[in-house]
Structure formats: C-alpha cells, structure tokens
C-alpha cells in the first residue's frame, strides 16, 4: 500500500528495525515510537493510516495507549493492531477490549507481515 503511513510502536530496537524494513520494502511510510507515551505524541503529529501497537512497553503499556488514542476522535477510525509476544488465552480479548482491531503475534512472519498489515488496513477502511 504505497504511501500509507504506519506508526510502529515497539520498544525493542531489533524488532523495530525488522518490521520497519519489511514495511518500507512493501511501500509503506513508517514512523516509530518506543513507548506508549511517545506513541500518542507521534500519532497526533503524524496522523498514521494504521498503528501497530506493542503491548508490553516501558512505562505506559500499549493497551493504555490504545485506550487514550481511542478516546480521541481523530483515531476512532484508525485501525490499531496489537503487535505482541503475548499469545496466552485471553490476551487477544484484552487487546480487543482496549480498542485493538487486530492482533499480530511475535515473532512476526517475515514472508506475510506487510501483506497482513495491508489486509488489516483495508478491513479498517471498509468497517
């Protein structure tokens, strides 16, 4: 999805670099944040088309950041996707309850990651 802006929220530098590389190769523009607080700042400044939100972040976690973004009318229609290593029973439900529209587990599938993000972005647009 050439030109679409993705906000990637990830505190681990190597994970952030890998996901950014995969998205940029697919034509996405990527902006980054490494904490929940920073995610809110960057989202407000950059107006992303989709937000990939790590759940386990230092300080404010990704679910709290998602709730704050969902309370802002500018982000009610922006897909927010949980990007997390948490894959235990109930984790996906907690992410959905916080306002996440999708759930991608880590480690990410490098062969399908960008396509999955495109699909989630399109699904968000048609909702």
Q: Where are the alpha helices (DSSP H) in 26-107?
A: 36-46, 62-71, 91-98
Specify the pLDDT at position 29.
Answer: 97
Q: Is position 127 within any domain?
A: no
- Residue range 2-60, pLDDT digits in tens: 579 999 999 999 999 999 999 999 999 999 999 999 999 999 999 999 999 999 999 99
How many angstroms separate the CA atoms of 83 and 100, rounded? 10
Residues counted in the chain: 127
**Is residue 13, in this structure, part of any structural domain at all?**
yes
Q: Is residue 43 part of a domain?
A: yes
What is the reported pLDDT for 6?
A: 98
Residue 43 belongs to domain with CATH number? 3.40.50.2300
Burial of 55 (0-12, 13-18, 19+ CB in 10 A): buried
Residue 109: CB atoms within 10 A of its CB come to 12
Instruction: Say what the pLDDT of residue 85 is.
Output: 86
Q: How far apart are the first and last CA of the chain?
A: 18
Say if 106 falls within a structural domain: yes
**Residue 118 vs residue 124, higher pLDDT:** 118
Of residues 85 and 80, more confidently modeled: 80
pLDDT, residue 123, reads 87
Q: How many domains does the chain have?
A: 1
Interval 61-78: pLDDT, tens: 999 999 999 999 999 999
Buried b / exposed e across 15-54, counting CB within 10 Å, b at 16+? bbebbbebbeebebebbbbbbbbbbbebbeebebbbbbbb
Report if residue 30 sits inside a domain. yes
**pTM above the 0.85 mark?**
yes
DSSP reduced 3-state for 45: helix
Residue 126 lies in a domain: no
Q: Which domain holds residue 90?
A: 5-121
């Amino acid at each position: 999805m050439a030109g679409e802006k993705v906000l990637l929220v990830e505190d681990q530098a190597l994970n952030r670099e890998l996901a950014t590389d995969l998205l940029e190769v697919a034509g996405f523009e990527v902006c980054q944040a490494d904490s929940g607080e920073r995610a809110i700042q960057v989202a407000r400044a950059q107006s992303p088309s989709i937000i990939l939100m790590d759940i386990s972040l230092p300080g404010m976690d990704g679910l709290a950041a998602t709730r704050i973004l969902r309370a802002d009318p500018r982000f009610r229609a922006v897909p927010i996707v949980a990007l997390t290593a948490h894959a235990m029973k109930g984790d996906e439900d907690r992410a959905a309850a916080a306002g996440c529209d999708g759930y991608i587990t880590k480690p990410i599938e490098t062969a399908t990651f960008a396509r999955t993000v495109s699909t989630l972005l399109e699904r968000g647009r048609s909702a």
